[in-house]
Structure 1
Amino acid sequence: MAGILGPMLAPYDPTTTDSAQALLPPSSEHWFGTDQLGRDVFSRTLVATRTDLLVGAVAVSISLVIGTAIGAVAGWRGGRTDVVIGRFIDSIMAFPLFVLAVGIAAGLGNSLTSVIVATAIVNLPFYARAVRFEVSRRRNAGWVEAALLARIPPSKIVALHILPNLVGLLATQSSLNMGWAILNAAGLSFIGLGIRPPQPEWGIMVADGASYIFSGEWWVFTFPGLTLMGAVLIFTRAGDALRQLLDPRSK
């Protein structure tokens, strides 16, 4: 809800600066205090929710669609196609995922699009591997052979009969990846390769507040950091709950 209504609920403009109000501690006027430029930390944290959730949702959606497609092709076709796609996925997994995301974002430049693309690419293997395994396991099932004998196109068999059975698996993986995608986007912004200031974003806010750790202005980085941590934990716990709910083997 905060991600949707954040800009309307924010009591102050998150980008308006006021040097006379700089680094004020939390109070009834500024619930989370103000930062080094006099901007209201609560308003910035609230508005940043939409940005980070948008990045996570779009990146996960892209990786879900593309990863599912290439995993389904590899699992159904097998042979050389499976080998080529497998090598492509392995080449992504060969790098530490955040390091790969840093390289992609650095190559594309600082922008919202580069963060989304980098996050989507490093999430691809999770979906491609899972779908490839499940499709390859089901393609020799009796009902699939019967469908082929009935001259039902393979694409229709995969799209309408195999993939719907993987909805639970993909929903669980998407929830888990959502938390990681948000953390990845914040990490890129923290090191200066993500979203550009002055747009509110949790990673940028934590990076700005890091300069004040030892001078006592703890609120500048604490509240954005806690919000980021809470969002990641919520999606991680949601993924675990979905896994237990939808996976018969966990019961």
Structure 2
Amino acid sequence: MLTMKSTPNHTGVKISGDYFDLDELNLALYKVIGQEDQYYGYEGSRMRILGISYELRHAAQGDRNVDFVFNGLHEHTMKQHGLIAPDKNIYFSTEVLWPELLYAVTALQDFVNMYQEDKKFTLWDLHLPVILRFQSLVLDCLQGHIPVEEFEVILKAFNQLASVNDYAIQYVDLLNVKYIGMNKQQREQSLSSIALKIAIQDQDYATFRKQLINVASPHKKPIHEINIQAEYPKKIEW
């Protein structure tokens, strides 16, 4: 079963599951975000979600964290059925920064809508429920670390998400780097505001995006291809 838990320093979220959980999520992400250049204006957002897919794929291959989780097999059950078996399953996990993960939840809503438009019978689709559960798990994890009244505001914002068409994805890098630079207490206090910034695309974002457009326009480049100075530390204290 796929699970999510905030990391000890609240730097990000630890996504855990067995091989099949992570592989199922990874496949669903690939299906929903489509092929390269399939959705005009969404290539930057697609790249960010592929970054999370990359981590999930390597986690499933055992390249990240390996944990042992109780599987529900009690001693009396083994005696009853004459079994000799381990009482723990192997779970794999990886960490993703909070701003990065919250943006993925936001961007996936657009991809889900476009995916549904391309399909005839989405009610029976295998991948959409996996994506919905992924989004719900992220918000449920967030709920456990912010005040109830703040979460209600955030939930309302996530129910009325603005489109991420032609989104200035470098803004997520700025939020990531700023968030990493905080201490644990500062992260706890700022998590709500970061979630809202991503959900409602506030004035700070609008100003930043306008600056990117001014840089990109003379070169006729998409704004997601503009490089900015956002240096990530070599090691993150999760």
TM-score norm. by structure 2 comes to 0.26
Higher strand proportion: 2
Q: Which has the larger radius of gyration?
A: 1
Structure number with higher relative contact order (C-alpha < 8 Å, ≥ 6 residues apart): 2
Higher helix proportion: 1
